[in-house]
Amino acid sequence: MRILAISGSLRAASSNGALLDVAARLAPPEMELVRYDGLAALPHFNPDLDTDPPPPAVAALRAEFARADGVVISSPEYAHGVPGSLKNALDWMVRDTEFAGKPVALLTASTRATHAHAALMDILTTMAARVVAESCIAVPAIGRNREAELLADREIVEPLGAALVAFGCAIAAGPATAPDHKLD
């Protein structure tokens, strides 16, 4: 299964990017994490620009979402919120039908980044993503941006590995079926 991995940080050496690198190493064999590194290239969201066809960077983002069986987002918290670059990418996905129902896992590289995590949960729920709760974790990786350092930490490796297995199982199981509410 193809998993789109998005870091909410634009920093070249970020804890969130390193966490996604570790996730790629720990992923079950049937799961391939593919990094999306185009956040900085996206134009600022403007409905007037959301035409057919959309700007090339937006078309590329939407194509990546379309190819993905699921999405893993690792985001920092800035000023008690979601980084603008990540929110911008999500804004570009609002109109796209590929996002609705897409399984999503949230990784947080800091156990203190509760505001951004809550904001992302609210945004993704509003966008009709299928957030896989057991795959949404916070680990103590803040300030550490080297893959080897994170791989050596059991407080990171064990919950991250378990979250990825749960995410793969949730994707394989498909969406939960809603009860049939036919009117008589």
Answer whether residue 165 is part of any domain.
yes
**Over the stretch 54-78, which tens digit does the pLDDT of each residue have?**
999 999 999 999 999 999 999 998 9
Q: Label residue 87 by pLDDT band (50, 70, 90).
A: very high
> Residue 110: pLDDT above 60?
yes
**Over the stretch 17-67, which tens digit does the pLDDT of each residue have?**
999 999 999 999 999 999 999 999 999 999 999 999 999 999 999 999 999
Question: How many whole angstroms separate alpha carbon 21 and alpha carbon 25?
Answer: 7
Task: Supply the pLDDT for residue 183.
Answer: 42
Within 8 A by CB and 6+ apart from 139, the residues are 19, 107, 108, 109, 111, 155, 156, 159, 160
Answer whether residue 71 is part of any domain.
yes
For the chain, the average pLDDT equals 92
- In the three-class reduction of DSSP (H, G, I as helix; E, B as strand; rest coil), residue 14 is classed as coil
Structural contact between residues 130 and 71, judged by C-beta atoms closer than 8 angstroms: no
Within 8 A by CB and 6+ apart from 62, the residues are 54, 92, 93, 96, 98
Task: Supply the pLDDT for residue 145.
Answer: 75
Task: Kindly report the CATH number assigned to the domain that includes residue 163.
Answer: 3.40.50.360
Which range marks the domain in which residue 81 is found? 2-173
Answer whether residue 180 is part of any domain.
no
Q: Label residue 99 by pLDDT band (50, 70, 90).
A: confident
Task: Supply the pLDDT for residue 62.
Answer: 96
Answer whether residue 182 is part of any domain.
no
| Number of domains, the chain | 1
pTM listed for this prediction: 0.92
> Residue 129: pLDDT above 60?
yes
Answer whether residue 53 is part of any domain.
yes
- Residue 107: which of 9, 173, 39 has the closest Cα? 9
